């Protein structure tokens, strides 16, 4: 029987395989950031261990960094200490760091692909659950905890039980690809399979609805695999993948030879079997808006807030969760999504802060002004994205519309830096999680695409972007 | 890591599904650079109001559960962020066993690195345990949960069981395979970054 792409990558990275124990898997790329690494470096020091492969390890600071003027000092002392700690750790252990002043600084999952560090067929880990993003390039990429960060630093390997394989087929063509985006596809998937639908699996996304997407859009899809419970999501690499990675700053010298090898080896065999499958038809899907406190609590922009009964389909636990979510979100069943007023807009995060996201969002707001009731910000995913956007004049479109245009970082996706919601504030956000308090204690998050967020900023409430002229 | 020993305490029922790691330890507490002291931040936004007074209706604030080491909760526990701080907080607070119908993958894996035993049980047994008022004994060696009235067996992967019972350090075990790792590196097709 044939093998899936995931199985091929898995098999080619086994260092030790024995019965009844997990396999020892080799890691080709280890991305490190300031929040989940200090305790790992401490562990190395306590045991007198070195970093085995500094040449496969890259660090940057993203979670904590302020997104205002980089020349200003960091006011939050604990953030400053964490950032200084990463600087010291990288220096002590010989790891390449893109620090706050580096033109390569940015969200770790944005800079990896942008710099050509992410490669097809490789294994990539990072102490961050959204490492699944890199799967868009046909890499097996997943998030790990701090103990495993230490383990990979020390050994360049990880013990892992082989996950099951899950094919998610995306069939059909979107009628209006500017209005119905990759974000809407992945939110639709999560809405259908649930936030634990992918637990224990590696997802392979396939079908015309995926091959049609650009690399940046595929990253949005793979990024949110973890919101469906799947530790990793991947897409078979094709010409778009190889073109994207060609001539980047860290693209390997023997790249064309690698491409030849990848073309031959990085495909699921026609007779391979997946443990699980799901198909989404996208011909008629609508822009999505989350209404609850997990990404599965999502509906079409044309719908109204569901009742806990309708949402839960008679599952008592889910019904209770939905009622709690509506209370937290201060929403009433039956309210049309388009009548929900918002206070804040956040365009950013490892899900949706790449150049294409910003370009698409800018088309919506060109020549208009943000609603007086709304405070809106754009946080580019990396300093490189920021620079490219500025060269195209995109920043001016945003600032002329009264959006704040900021420096790169994770920012209000998780609110570890000063960019947070105040209690009770409601935000249209292009990020990945709408958990209670995620963007600030008491804050209320609605997950949407960049174009939906931009349109909401102008109108002060959600609108169906299919009704706008986006071409 | 300390060896996992038999535990007997009352259970703390947290009757919720999809408890995410952002709730277990909110982001404002992820800035610490050590592993200790996270217990006071466990379920912070559910435990305390905006003035940092204890909320009366949250289960952890009920004195009855003060010495409980066993958390019983709903499906998909620990979903979301990979932050191991969530496990450090549970452990520092005093929990060593978490019982649920299912767990998120990264959280589940993080537990074993810190001497916490996550037990997957059928929904109906979890429900039963949530209402157990007496003490529950957790016997990992024999994979049995004992209440006053009954015994429930549970499954656990033999390797993971060994790690907990013997308190094994992953890294020193792995480094015994140094020759295999070096061998792998010689034939690897993926070049170094720099």
Q: Which domains, from first to last, does chain B contain?
A: 7-185 (3.20.19.10)
Write the burial class of residue A1 (CB in 10 Å: 0-12 exposed, 13-18 middle, 19+ buried): exposed
Q: Please name the residues between 11 and 30 in chain A that touch chain B, using a CB distance below 8 Å.
A: 15-16, 20-22, 24, 26, 28-29
Dump pLDDT digits (tens) for A1-47. 899 999 999 999 999 998 888 999 999 999 999 999 999 999 999 99
Dump pLDDT digits (tens) for A52-97. 999 999 999 999 999 999 888 899 999 999 999 999 999 999 999 9
B170 has a pLDDT exceeding 90: no
What's the mean per-residue pLDDT of chain A? 97
A278 to chain B, any CB pair closer than 8 A? The answer is: no
A127 to chain B, any CB pair closer than 8 A? The answer is: yes
Task: Give start and end residues of each alpha helix (H) in B6-152.
Answer: 21-24, 44-47, 85-93, 105-112, 123-130
Average the pLDDT over A115-126 and give the result: 98
A330's CB contacts (< 8 A; 6+ apart) are A424, A426, A444
Average the pLDDT over A309-325 and give the result: 95
**Portion of chain A with pLDDT greater than 70, in percent:** 100
The answer, as to whether pTM is greater than 0.95, is yes
Q: Which residue among A146, A250, A317 places its CB closest to the CB of B193?
A: A250
Nearest C-alpha in A relative to B48: A441
A237 has a pLDDT exceeding 90: yes
A418 to chain B, any CB pair closer than 8 A? The answer is: no
Q: Do A147 and B185 touch (CB under 8 A)?
A: no
Confidence of residue A469 (pLDDT cuts 50, 70, 90): confident
Min Cα–Cα distance to chain B from A171, Å = 28
**Portion of chain A with pLDDT greater than 90, in percent:** 97
Q: Which residue among B20, B27, B193 places its CB closest to the CB of A56?
A: B193
Nearest C-alpha in A relative to B161: A21
Chain A residues near residue B177 by CB distance under 8 angstroms? 15-16, 24, 157
Pairwise CA distance, residues B136 & B129, whole Å: 9
Chain A residues near residue B34 by CB distance under 8 angstroms? 38-39, 42
A370's CB contacts (< 8 A; 6+ apart) are A345, A376, A401, A402, A403, A457, A458
| Nearest alpha-carbon partner for A270 in A379, A170, A397, A167 | A167
Q: Do B80 and A321 touch (CB under 8 A)?
A: no
Token representation of residue A428: 């249209």
| CB atoms near residue A289 (< 10 Å) | 26
Min Cα–Cα distance to chain B from A302, Å = 27
Confidence of residue A397 (pLDDT cuts 50, 70, 90): very high
Q: Do A438 and B27 touch (CB under 8 A)?
A: yes
pLDDT score recorded for residue A18 = 86
Local structure of residue A216 (DSSP, 8 states): H
pLDDT score recorded for residue A112 = 98
């Amino acid at each position: 029987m044939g093998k899936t792409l995931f199985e091929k990558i898995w098999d080619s990275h086994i260092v030790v395989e024995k019965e009844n124990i997990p396999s020892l898997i080799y890691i080709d790329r280890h991305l490190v950031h300031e929040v989940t690494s200090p305790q790992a470096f401490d562990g190395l020091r306590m045991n007198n261990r070195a970093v085995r492969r500094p040449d496969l390890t890259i660090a940057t600071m993203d979670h904590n960094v302020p997104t205002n003027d980089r020349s200003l000092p960091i006011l939050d002392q604990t953030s400053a200490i964490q950032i200084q700690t990463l600087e010291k750790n990288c220096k002590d252990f010989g790891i390449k760091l893109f620090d706050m002043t580096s033109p390569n600084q940015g969200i770790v999952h944005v800079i990896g692909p942008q710099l050509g560090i992410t490669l097809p067929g490789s294994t990539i880990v990072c102490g961050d659950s959204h490492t699944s993003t890199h799967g868009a390039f046909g890499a097996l990429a997943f998030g790990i905890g701090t103990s495993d960060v230490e383990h990979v630093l020390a050994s360049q390997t990880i013990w892992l039980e082989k996950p099951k394989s899950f094919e998610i087929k995306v069939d059909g063509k979107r009628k209006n690809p500017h209005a119905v985006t990759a974000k809407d596809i992945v939110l639709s998937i999560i809405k259908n399979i649930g936030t634990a639908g992918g637990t224990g699996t590696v997802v392979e996304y396939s079908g015309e609805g995926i091959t049609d997407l650009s690399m940046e859009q595929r990253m949005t899809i793979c990024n949110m695999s973890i919101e469906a419970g799947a530790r990793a999501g991947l897409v078979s690499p094709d010409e778009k993948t190889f073109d994207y990675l060609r001539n980047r700053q860290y693209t390997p010298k023997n790249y064309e030879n690698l491409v030849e090898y990848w073309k031959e080896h990085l495909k699921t065999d026609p007779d391979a079997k997946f443990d699980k499958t799901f198909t989404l038809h996208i011909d008629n899907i609508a822009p999505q808006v989350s209404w609850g406190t997990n990404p599965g609590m999502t509906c079409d922009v044309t719908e109204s807030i569901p009742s806990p009964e309708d949402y839960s389909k008679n599952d008592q636990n889910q019904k209770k969760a939905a009622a709690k979510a509506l209370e937290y979100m201060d929403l009433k069943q039956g309210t049309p999504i388009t009548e929900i007023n918002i206070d804040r807009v956040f365009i950013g995060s490892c899900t949706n802060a790449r150049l294409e996201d910003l370009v698409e969002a800018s088309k919506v707001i060109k020549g208009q002004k943000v609603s007086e009731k709304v405070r809106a910000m754009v946080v580019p995913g990396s300093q490189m994205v920021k620079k490219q956007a500025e060269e195209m004049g995109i920043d001016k479109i945003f600032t002329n519309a009264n959006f704040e245009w900021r420096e790169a970082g994770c920012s209000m996706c998780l609110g570890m830096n000063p960019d947070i919601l105040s209690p009770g504030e409601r935000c249209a956000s292009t990020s990945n999680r709408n958990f209670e308090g995620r963007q600030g204690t008491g804050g209320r998050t609605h997950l949407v695409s960049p174009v939906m967020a931009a349109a909401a900023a102008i109108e002060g409430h959600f609108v169906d972007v299919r009704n706008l002229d986006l071409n | 890591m300390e060896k996992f020993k038999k535990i007997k305490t009352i259970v703390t029922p947290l009757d919720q599904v999809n408890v995410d790691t952002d709730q277990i330890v909110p982001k404002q507490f992820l800035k610490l650079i050590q592993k200790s002291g996270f217990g006071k931040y466990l379920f912070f936004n559910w435990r305390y109001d905006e003035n940092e007074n204890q909320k009366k209706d949250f289960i952890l604030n009920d004195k009855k559960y003060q010495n409980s080491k066993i958390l019983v909760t709903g499906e998909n526990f620990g979903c979301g962020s990979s932050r191991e701080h969530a496990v450090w907080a549970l452990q520092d607070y005093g929990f060593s066993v978490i019982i649920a119908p299912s767990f998120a993958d990264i959280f589940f894996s993080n537990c074993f690195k810190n001497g916490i035993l996550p037990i997957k049980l059928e929904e109906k047994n979890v429900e039963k345990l949530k209402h157990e008022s007496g003490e529950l004994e957790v016997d990992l060696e024999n994979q049995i949960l004992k209440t006053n009235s009954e015994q429930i067996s549970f499954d656990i992967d033999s390797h993971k069981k060994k790690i907990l019972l013997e308190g094994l350090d992953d890294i020193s075990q792995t480094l015994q395979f140094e020759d295999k790792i070096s061998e792998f590196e010689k034939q690897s097709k993926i070049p170094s970054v720099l």
